[in-house]
Amino acid sequence: MKKRALIIGITGQDGSYLADLLLKKGYEVFGTYRRLSTPNFWRLQYLEIFNKISLLPCDLIDSYSLVEALKISNPEEIYNLAALSFVGASFEQATASGEITGLGVTKILEAIRLIVPGAKFYQASTSEMYGDNDFSGQDENTPFEPSSPYAVSKLYAHHMVKIYRNSYNLFACNGILFNHESPLRGLEFVTRKITNGLAKIKLGLEETIELGNIEAHRDWGYAPEYVEAMWIMLQQDKPDDYVIATNETHSIQEFLQEAFGLADLNWEKYIRIDERLIRPLDVKLLKGDYKKASISLNWAPKVKFKQLIDIMYKEDLTRWRKALNGEHFPWDASNYPNERNIISRTLKLEK
């Protein structure tokens, strides 16, 4: 019999790649999604797996929908990848971030405890929980100092997973994933904003890219490799928490230099700093140490910084060229507005 897996938040970057991985491993895959006026299934369609999965409407603030999803799917493995995942937006929706990204996980754990206590559970924790700390590298023992509503919500969920694991003997793991990118990354994230904007500049469709703080340093990896680490965690004999990272850190400015170099352009001519895009409180540096995952899970990243940028830029360039030639395919960028007319209530409009 096929193993059954439930991916909570299947329509995002990680959910789509994970669904693809599990299907290739012979799983029967169920996935939850939020009902919206405009469906957001383009990633699943892009990977050509939309018709291979069973979709269930669900919302993390609605316990009954979670219970129903578990009863219908009866999974052996559960992956929670749902959240208000954009850090900047969490400052604008701090309460919603706490209810969905934080308390929502407690509702999942309660539902698992009552309905499928033998299922294995993966929770998507985040490197943002480390916050603006003074450590040059972060591992599973590094203190957390969250610097955003998103990070605080994730930290609450992280500890609840540990509490339910220890109190009810649930097989529950936290994956502390550092930034991981791909051509399926949302356009609100700086990496994809850069590669998509650069492709438009290269083709004469745009003149500039507006960014906020380009001095921040992040540890960037390749999303398809990171979802494989999620799966490996649930194949172990005992549950535990693991950092998944590349052991490297690079600034957004370095990302710009590398990306624009691929297009033979000088990034400084095309980048505009918009103070409205600077967060009220930002994290200066994140650099993960995946030593534990390397030893216990036999996992290590293969795609590093330069190759990652090359993959993303070339894919965005190819997609824009297809669009200009009149080709139709699942995609997000053609309908995504720039941020020039979007006013954030939390950020200053004037100095």
User: pLDDT digit string (tens) for 247-286?
Assistant: 999 999 999 999 999 999 999 999 999 887 776 667 889 9
Contacts of 151 (CB under 8 A, 6+ apart): 87, 90, 126, 128, 129, 131
CA 195 to chain centre: 17
Given 27, 33, 150, 242, the catalytic residue: 150
pLDDT value, residue 342 = 57
What does the DSSP 8-state code read for residue 34? -
What are the backbone dihedrals phi and psi of residue 147, each rounded to the nearest 5 degrees, phi first?
A: -120, 20
Cα 227 to Cα 20, 181, 232, 256, 339: the distances in Å are 10, 11, 9, 26, 30
**296 pLDDT more than 70:** yes
Q: Are 195 and 265 in contact (CB under 8 A)?
A: no
Given 77, 128, 181, 258, the catalytic residue: 128
Which amino acid, residue 146?
A: P
pLDDT value, residue 179 = 97
Given 32, 101, 126, 249, the catalytic residue: 126
What are the backbone dihedrals phi and psi of residue 171, each rounded to the nearest 5 degrees, phi first?
A: -85, 95
17 is catalytic: no
Q: 257 versus 149: which is more confidently predicted? A: 257
145 is catalytic: no
Closest listed residue to residue 255, CA positions, set 240, 241, 271, 244 = 271
**338 pLDDT more than 70:** no
pLDDT value, residue 98 = 87
The domain segmentation of the chain, as residue ranges, is 4-181+221-244
How confident is residue 315, by pLDDT bands cut at 50, 70 and 90?
very high
Least confident of 83-97, 167-181, 212-226: 83-97
Q: How far apart are CA 86 and CA 228, in angstroms?
A: 22
126 is catalytic: yes
The two tokens of residue 139 are: 């591992």
SS3 288: strand
pLDDT digits (tens, 9 = 90+) for 14-45: 999 999 999 999 999 999 999 876 779 999 99
Q: So what's the architecture of 4-181+221-244 in CATH?
A: 3-Layer(aba) Sandwich (3.40)
Q: Which residue has the tokens 């500049």?
A: 201
Longest CA pairwise span in the chain (Å): 63
Radius of gyration of the chain from Cα atoms? 20
Percentage of the chain beyond pLDDT 90 is: 82
β-sheet bridge partners, residue 17: none
User: How many Cβ atoms sit within 10 Å of the Cβ of residue 326?
Assistant: 6
Burial class (CB in 10 A: 0-12, 13-18, 19+), 251: middle
The shares of helix, strand and coil residues in the chain, as percent rounded to the nearest 5, are 45, 15, 40
